[in-house]
Chains A and B, each alone.
Chain A
Amino acid sequence: MTTGLIWVIVALGLGCVLMRRRSVVVALVGVQSLCVAALAIALVPSRPSEFLPAALTLVLRAVVIVVLLVIAIRRTRHALPGGEETVPFSRLVVAGAIIAALVALIPAFGLESRLAERGAVALIATGLALLVTRRATVMQVVALLVAENGIAVAAVNVSGGLPVAVELGVAFDLVLVVTVAVVFHDRIFDMFGTTDTRILRGLRD
């Protein structure tokens, strides 16, 4: 089950790279976050003290963040970037290249399975690819979330799990950063009439 979930999580990340509509991408990253939580939930029966807090934190984090992003999208319905954004195939090629490079560069680092290590690194790479190829503010927040999901995959597969304080702290910080990002998203839309970050090119030397 764990192996299959990791593949699904990586595939959902690539789906975020391919899909154009923000609502679809937010749905994909929401499902991805819940799949990561499912990885932790699967470990709860055998090691409840280590993975129950992690599972609850991941579920709560996924729900709160998706709600924040849905609110952001609903307020800025007609703000989709225009047709000049990179075509899906090019985005996939960029993501594939970054994934291949990082998976080759990062050695085994002690997770319970090599697949989990590669999956985690692939998700970080997918986040970086999203950041450089997508222009809408929401897409750049999704880039951060996909990368954070990669870290969560790694954290769930650490023997004994990560300390609860770190899990909680990371989730709190992520929600805080996404909240601030949603505030910026609203302000950028109010000021520029779009959430396409290509408009943010006023500061040059």
Chain B
Amino acid sequence: MCAALIVVLAAIGLVHAGTPATGPGYVIDGPGGVFLAVIGVVGLISALISPAYLHDHRRARTGALRSRQLYYAGLYLFWAALVAVPVVNNLGIAWLVVEATTAASALMVAFAGTRNALEAGWKYLVLTSVGLTVALMGIVMLYASGPHGAATLSALDWSTLAHQAPHLDQSTTLAAFCVILAGLATKVGWAPVHNWLPDAHSEAPPPVSALLSAALLPTVALVAWRLDEALRAALDARAVQAIFIGFGLLSLGVAIPFLWKSLAWKRFLAYSSLEHMGVIAFGIGIDNRWATAGVLIHVAGHAIAKALGFSMAIPLLRYQPAASQRAPRGIARLSRPLSVGMGVSLFALGAVPPSPLFFSEALILFGGFVAGQVVVTSIAAVLLAMGFIGVAHMAIEAFAGAPFERRLPGSRTAVWISGLATACTVGLLAVASIAYVLPYSTLAAALTGGAG
């Protein structure tokens, strides 16, 4: 029901991509529609796979935070806060909602109650809270540098910021933008302020990891993207481009050595998130119709692939409990449905055609070359190719060879794995199919200010 409502909102946003529906405090536009659809679908998958996780978790050993009611309260609060982020029409309120996601999700990260889960939850809470405090300082700087008068919330509306931008002092606005972006980067997980990300994603329950990786990270990136759009007239375009591209390349560069290592499945997916957030930052930095279309496809494709990947962690840990600490092995011999599910996720994340990530990365790189950013785009292309090697390594390690453990699953497990893998494959192909038309759509134009 919740997911259906969110998807309806998303559809309204996509239909009105050129003429956003706005009202007091809210905006439903094309970009928001894409992110709402992502949050709706990923939240639905998380809710659907939660019973399987809780069934297994009941047999786990430690943890006082465990209870079914607490789990679902946390999950739905987290999901609700996420839904609000693309809809709010105000930078200040967006910050409040993003901060609220921290409080809701930190307890969820530590839900397992193990030492590692507590460590991951604490790091996540402290680092992202401090990051968001820095972002809030930037928002106060931006507010203070604007036209003075009575304190009104509407001064931080996206549309008001865009209207006032030509009259703002450029150096102060750039400083405020940098401070906000540095703060938001901790929540998006862009390197070098990504330290919480691998730990939180790998220790959280898989349904929460899916929401964190596939929905939270790109949704906070949307706030940064909207701010860039709103302040465009007051910012030095080259400086902003350099900041986003810098975050992108650094994130890619930091992720790749870890993708090459032999890691546990969820930890591998966590570093993959760092890589893909880097791709999104790079695409936002390029900022033309091709790169923008690529970013939107990347957000949607990454969300489906990552949600499927984290969902597969539940049956994987049933077959191979030791895979929580080391790379899985011999999955192809253990279970065909599980190997299909993990394979679809891996090959989609590795941008193997016809994965939507193949088209999105191609569009972003093409956009980079069209924008004249030959050197940085070439570096990004090389880094993406190196990232693919890491994915291929994981695929060989996970599927080939002899399994080191074997636990027989129930037939119901095989049914839901197959169903989810099929649905996600259809979703991935549907996202890939719009890659050809999206660069010329009003949606891409809306995010580039109509520029090519």
A residues sitting closer than 8 Å to B (CB atoms) are 50, 105-111, 120-121, 124, 127-128, 131, 137, 140-141, 143-144, 147-148, 150-151, 154-155, 158-166, 169-170, 173, 176-177, 179-181, 183-184, 187-188, 190-192, 197, 200-203, 205
Chain A residue nearest in CB terms to B271: A205
Could you say which residues of chain A place their CB within 8 Å of the CB of B126? 131, 140-141, 144, 181
Q: Does B199 contact A (CB under 8 A)?
A: yes
Query: Which residues of chain B have C-beta atoms less than 8 A from A183's C-beta?
Result: 107
| B146 neighbours in A (Cβ, 8 Å) | 110
Question: Known interface pairs A154-B140, A176-B103. Does A181 touch B119 (Cβ–Cβ under 8 Å)?
Answer: no
Distance in angstroms between the alpha carbons of A46 and B301 in the assembled complex = 55
Among A159, A164, A184, A191, the residue within 8 A (CB) of B106 is: A184
Question: Would you call A184 and B175 a contact (CB within 8 A)?
Answer: no
Contact A124 B65 (CB under 8 A): no
CB-CB contacts below 8 Å: B236-272 with A: 258, 261, 263, 267
Other A-B pairs beyond A108-B172, A121-B137, A154-B144, 7, CB < 8 Å: A50-B151, A105-B175, A143-B130, A158-B140, A163-B156, A169-B92, A201-B119
Cβ of B118 and Cβ of A191 under 8 Å apart?
yes
**A158 touches which of B103, B119, B143, B203 (Cβ 8 Å):** B143
Q: Does B102 contact A (CB under 8 A)?
A: yes
Give the residue name and chain of the B residue nearest to A185 (CB). Answer: B122
Q: A151-B133, A169-B96, A170-B96 are in contact. Are A109 and B153 (CB under 8 A)?
A: no
A residues within 8 A CB of B103?
173, 176-177, 179-180
- Once A107-B171, A192-B115 are accepted as A-B contacts, the answer to whether A151 and B144 lie under 8 Å apart by CB is no
Across-interface contacts of B125 in A (CB, < 8 A): 177, 180-181, 184
**What is the distance, in angstroms, from B230's C-beta to the closest C-beta of chain A?**
17
B130–A177 CB distance below 8 A: no
Cβ of B120 < 8 Å from any Cβ of A?
A: yes
Contact present for A163 and B151 (CB under 8 Å): yes
Question: B140 near A106 (CB under 8 angstroms)?
Answer: no
The 0/1 profile, CB within 8 Å of A marked 1, for residues 161-180 of chain B is: 00000000001100110010
B-side contacts of A140, CB under 8 Å: 126
Contact of A163 with B137 in the complex, beta carbons under 8 Å: no
On chain B, the residues within 8 Å of A169 by CB distance are 92-93, 96
Contact A200 B136 (CB under 8 A): no
Instruction: Verify if B16 is at the interface (C-beta below 8 Å from A).
Output: no
Residues facing A in B17-45 (CB within 8 A) are none
CB closest residue in chain B, given A200: B119
List 29 A-B residue pairs with CB atoms under 8 Å apart, sorted by A's residue number. A50-B150, A107-B172, A108-B172, A109-B145, A110-B172, A124-B137, A127-B133, A143-B130, A144-B133, A148-B133, A154-B137, A154-B144, A158-B140, A159-B148, A160-B151, A162-B140, A163-B151, A163-B152, A165-B92, A166-B92, A166-B156, A177-B103, A181-B126, A184-B106, A187-B118, A202-B115, A203-B119, A203-B199, A205-B198
Contact of A144 among B64, B130, B151, B176 (CB under 8 A): B130
Given A107-B171, A184-B125, A205-B198: A162 and B143 within 8 A (CB)?
yes
Rounded to whole Å, the gap between the CB of B167 and the closest CB of chain A is 13
When the two chains form the complex, which single residue of B119, B144, B150, B261 contacts A110, counting CB atoms closer than 8 Å? B144
Q: Is the CB of A127 within 8 A of B130?
A: yes
- CB-CB under 8 A from A200, the residues of chain B are 118-119, 122-123
Q: How far is the CA of A137 from the CA of B92 in the complex (A)?
A: 28
B100: chain A residues within 8 A (beta carbon) = 173, 176
Q: CA of A97 to CA of B267 in the docked complex: distance in angstroms? A: 36
B150 engages A160 (CB within 8 Å):
yes
A161 to B116, CA, bound (A): 43
Q: Which residues of B contact A106 (CB under 8 A)?
A: 141, 175, 179
Q: Is the CB of A109 within 8 A of B151?
A: no
Bound complex: CA A127 to CA B136 (Å): 14
Give Cα A148 to B135, complex, Å. 11
| Shortest beta-carbon distance from B195 to chain A in Å | 10
B143 in contact with A191 (CB, 8 Å): no
| Nearest CB of B to A106, in Å | 6
Most buried by A among B146, B151, B267: B151
Q: How far is the CB of B112 from chain A (nearest CB, A)?
A: 12
A170 with B110: CB separation less than 8 A: no
Q: Is B134 interfacial (CB 8 A cutoff)? A: yes
Known: A108-B172, A160-B150, A184-B110. A170 touches B119 (CB 8 A): no
Assess A124 versus B133: contact at CB under 8 Å? Given A160-B151, A169-B92, A170-B96: yes
User: In the complex, how many angstroms separate the beta carbon of B248 from the nearest chain A beta carbon?
Assistant: 22
Interface string of B81-120 (1 = CB under 8 A from A): 0000000000011001001101100110010010110111
Is B122 within 8 A of A137, CB to CB? yes
Q: Does B129 contact A (CB under 8 A)?
A: yes
Q: Cβ of B121 < 8 Å from any Cβ of A?
A: yes
Q: Give the distance to chain A from B88, nearest Cβ to Cβ, in Å.
A: 11
Counting from the closest, the 6 A-B pairs by CB-CB distance are A200-B119, A169-B96, A163-B153, A110-B144, A159-B148, A109-B141
- Distance from A41 Cβ to chain B, minimum over Cβ atoms (Å): 17
Contacts of A166 in B (CB 8 A): 92-93, 96, 153, 156
Q: Which of A160, A162, A173, A201 contacts B149 (CB 8 A)?
A: A160
Q: In angstroms, how far is the closest chain B Cβ from the Cβ of A57?
A: 13
Which residues in B have their C-beta under 8 angstroms from that of A187? 64-65, 110, 113, 118
Contacts of A128 in B (CB 8 A): 130
CA of A144 to CA of B129, assembled, Å: 7
Cβ contact within 8 Å between B172 and A180 = no
**B-side contacts of A105, CB under 8 Å:** 175
Q: Distance in Å from the Cβ of A179 to the closest Cβ of chain B?
A: 8
How many Å from the CB of B260 to the closest CB on chain A?
11
> In angstroms, how far is the closest chain B Cβ from the Cβ of A139?
11
- In the bound assembly, the distance between CA atoms of A170 and B139 in angstroms comes to 12
A159-B144, A160-B151, A169-B92 known; A147+B261 contact, CB < 8 A: no
